[in-house]
Amino acid sequence: MAINQYAINVFSANGVRLRILNIIQSARYRKAENETGDWELTLAYGDGSIPELLSPPNTVEFWRDGKYQFGGLIRHQRVFQDGRVPFYTVSGPGYLQWLADCRMRPATGTGDITYAADNLDDIMKRIVREQVLDFNTRIVVAADSGLCAVSEQYVATAYEHVLETLQNVAERAKDTTFDVIRDEDGALRFRTYTPSRGPDKSKGTASPVLFDLRGGNLIDAEWIRDGNAVVNALWAGGPGDKASRYIYPPTYALTNSQSILDWGRIEGFFDAGSEGTVATDKKCQEELDKQSVGEESVSFKVSPFGRYILGRDFDFGTKVTVVWEDVLEFSDTIKGLEVRLDSGSGVAQVDINVGDTLTGDTQTRASIILGKFLRRLRQTIGVQTRH
């Protein structure tokens, strides 16, 4: 079988495959780690059976080389005329939308929901069992695994949507992601992935995937270090009004000296009027820690025709290494993916997002490499730069 042969499948509410759509005008799907994602499909109106087929409660799924890739709900339908030919466009969110459609309901009807100490991946599954399955019989939940490194009590906010709660749990877990997929047994299943969804193919492993310009996969690379939102000298206003208002610190702002060296002194004020005085002091420090660091991110696009091929060498969830010669090098997981298909169901475009921002050790390594590049640039053209 050739690599990257896509099929668009339509399933009924009870999981029966109704049709494979062989002739389409265009299609795309986008997915991201712990997010709903979305999809869109346009095809000829045909004999009129298409609107009935592509209507709720049926679902649409994208398969590649005989394996499930992404599925979603039908939430928007449109018929339009292009010259003499009528077309039908249908779109919607991914399967995780079902979790956003449900709310966290406490047993008493009021108050937050406390989950006893457990591995956070298993708490995620318990949340779905308790808050989703009584309303949605189309999905099942994978068995508990206890693989997450973090085990603790979790207190969920009442009446926020379930997806938001799961995203908050995953943020605390740090090593676990989740999704609703068409599993190998044909069931739509809520699953968690620890420590990652895919294999580690970063630099130093047995079969590394190194995205670089020379290999033809890395294109449109962009690195951003943004200090527009930086505040590194901060006051916080606590309870009280006008002259009697509590201000912390009372005379000189709380500062981050390293950030001031990097960006210059940038003052700000944080309103903590609903807090007590002790809480205001704490909030001021927390906000300074958050606001005094500039945003650092990297993004690029991946061509499906370079050295590495999607579906063969890497996929959504694979840890890879990005090598941008002389600028930076880092390893991270593929956390975002958009695939566009042309009229022949061939791949027209693939956009990959590796990581969201550079954090921790990755950011430090990238900054060191970038700093070396800037110093070389200064020596070459005589421009005064500082990093």
Q: Average pLDDT, stretch 197-215? A: 91
Predicted model pTM: 0.77
Shared-domain flag, residues 273 and 372: no
Phi, psi of 69, deg, nearest 5: -120, -45
Shared-domain flag, residues 138 and 160: yes
Under 8 Å between Cβ of 186 and 254:
no
Mean pLDDT, all residues of the chain? 87
The model's pLDDT over 35-46, given as tens digits with 9 standing for 90+, comes to 999 999 999 887
| Structural domain ending residue among the three candidates 55, 77, 93 | 93
- 307: in domain: yes
Kindly give, in sequence order, each residue whose CB lies less than 8 Å from that of residue 290, ignoring residues fewer than 6 positions away: none
Shared-domain flag, residues 118 and 48: no
- 236: in domain: yes
- C-alpha 73/C-alpha 13 separation (Å) is 10
Lowest mean pLDDT among 107-111, 169-173, 191-195, 287-291: 107-111
Shared-domain flag, residues 50 and 86: yes
Percentage of the chain with pLDDT > 90?
Answer: 61
How many residues appear in the chain? 387
Per-residue tokens: 283: 């909030």
- 134: in domain: yes
CATH number at residue 66: 2.30.300.10
Lowest mean pLDDT among 135-139, 195-199, 242-246, 330-334: 330-334
Domain span at 149? 99-193
Whether the per-residue pLDDT at 15 is higher than 70: the answer is: yes
- C-alpha 133/C-alpha 152 separation (Å) is 24
- Band (31; pLDDT cuts 50, 70, 90): very high
The pLDDT, as a whole number, for residue 131 is 96
Per-residue tokens: 341: 């298909």
The pLDDT, as a whole number, for residue 264 is 95
- 205: in domain: no
Shared-domain flag, residues 45 and 183: no
Per-residue tokens: 26: 């265009």
The model's pLDDT over 339-363, given as tens digits with 9 standing for 90+, comes to 888 775 566 677 777 765 455 555 5
The pLDDT, as a whole number, for residue 1 is 44
- For residue 341, how many C-alpha atoms fall within 13 Å in the half-sphere facing its CB? 27
- C-alpha 133/C-alpha 127 separation (Å) is 10
CATH number at residue 165: 3.55.50.10
The model's pLDDT over 184-195, given as tens digits with 9 standing for 90+, comes to 999 999 999 999
- Band (377; pLDDT cuts 50, 70, 90): low
- 198: in domain: no
User: Which residue in the block uniquely carries the two structure tokens 């999905």?
Assistant: 139
- Band (199; pLDDT cuts 50, 70, 90): very high
| Structural domain ending residue among the three candidates 251, 273, 293 | 293
Shared-domain flag, residues 189 and 331: no
Whether the per-residue pLDDT at 332 is higher than 90: the answer is: no
- C-alpha 323/C-alpha 330 separation (Å) is 7
- Band (387; pLDDT cuts 50, 70, 90): very low
Q: What is the DSSP letter of 92?
A: E
- 202: in domain: no
Q: What is the 3-state secondary structure (H, E, C) of 47-91?
A: CCHHHHHCCCCCEEEEEECCEEEEEEECCEEEEEEECCEEEEEEE
- For residue 221, which amino acid is it? A
Shared-domain flag, residues 28 and 161: no
The pLDDT, as a whole number, for residue 384 is 38
Per-residue tokens: 196: 């990652």
Per-residue tokens: 275: 């807090």
The model's pLDDT over 273-319, given as tens digits with 9 standing for 90+, comes to 888 899 999 999 999 999 999 887 766 676 767 888 888 899 999 99
- C-alpha 96/C-alpha 178 separation (Å) is 9
Phi, psi of 38, deg, nearest 5: -160, 175
What is the number of domains present in the chain?
4
- C-alpha 191/C-alpha 79 separation (Å) is 36
Under 8 Å between Cβ of 12 and 1:
no
Q: Average pLDDT, stretch 42-71? A: 90
